[in-house]
Amino acid sequence: MRTPPLSEPWVSAIGELRRRGLRWTPRRRLVMEVLSEASGHVTGAEIVDRCRRRDPATVPSTVYRTLDVLEELGLVRHGHGAGGQEEYHVRPADEHGHLHCDACGGRWELSASEAGEFVAHIERHRGFSVDLSHLTLVGRCPDCAAGQRAAMRRGAKRGP
């Protein structure tokens, strides 16, 4: 099966790889093809699995080295999910963090403007520069929080 040609910005990345003295190999092309078809967040293991579906000889270290270079080029952004697993955001438009509901597993992006006061507070009071892409706040979404409150009210009405 012939894959469609890479589009921008992936095509430009080929030239940048060569400018950095890196070869344009079939394995790197495969990683970029897989990423060009992805959107949002994907773990490194998922990228390796998708590559292996097309080429079973895919070596994870090649995938991760390619991801490192593509992150330097701004085509992917590395972060961590609520469970600590690594994940990559493909072609991130803006730096962002994440919200994760520990009840339903829902995930939402947290924009820099939404996190601004929190990040500024940490920087002002701790002198700590926050990398928002590595920030994941775990808690409860509005629906799960409401369900938890309702369950607590029902339990309180029953009494001991």
Residue 154, domain extent = 94-160
Q: Are residues 109 and 149 in the same domain?
A: yes
CA atoms of 160 and 150, how far apart (whole Å): 18
Look up the pTM and report it.
0.69
**Number of domains comprising the chain:** 2
pLDDT at 49 over 90: yes
User: Of 93, 117, 141, which residue sits at a domain end?
Assistant: 93
Q: Are residues 103 and 85 in the same domain?
A: no
pLDDT at 98 over 80: yes
Residue 106 backbone zone (phi > 0: left; psi -120 to 50: alpha; other: beta)? beta
Q: Which two tokens stand for residue 20?
A: 């950095």
Give pLDDT tens digits for 106-133.
888 888 899 989 999 999 999 999 888 7
User: Of 93, 119, 150, which residue sits at a domain end?
Assistant: 93
Q: Which residue has the higher pLDDT, 134 or 138?
A: 138
Edge-to-edge strand order for the sheet containing 136-139?
107-111, 96-101, 136-139
> Which three-class secondary structure state does DSSP give residue 52?
helix
Q: Are residues 81 and 112 in the same domain?
A: no
Q: Are residues 13 and 63 in the same domain?
A: yes
The residue to which tokens 């030239």 are assigned: 15
CA–CA–CA angle 121, 74, 40 (5° rounding)? 80
User: Of 93, 123, 143, which residue sits at a domain end?
Assistant: 93
Residue 159 backbone zone (phi > 0: left; psi -120 to 50: alpha; other: beta)? left
CA atoms of 25 and 87, how far apart (whole Å): 24
CA atoms of 91 and 40, how far apart (whole Å): 8
Q: Are residues 86 and 152 in the same domain?
A: no
Give pLDDT tens digits for 65-89.
999 989 888 888 888 777 777 888 8
Residue 135, pLDDT score: 84
What is the mean pLDDT of the segment spanning 152-158?
70
Give pLDDT tens digits for 1-47.
555 667 778 888 888 888 888 888 898 899 999 998 887 788 899 99
CA atoms of 35 and 88, how far apart (whole Å): 10
- Whether cis (ω within 30° of 0) applies to the bond prior to 9 is yes
Residue 133, pLDDT score: 79
Q: Are residues 15 and 63 in the same domain?
A: yes
Q: Are residues 9 and 39 in the same domain?
A: yes
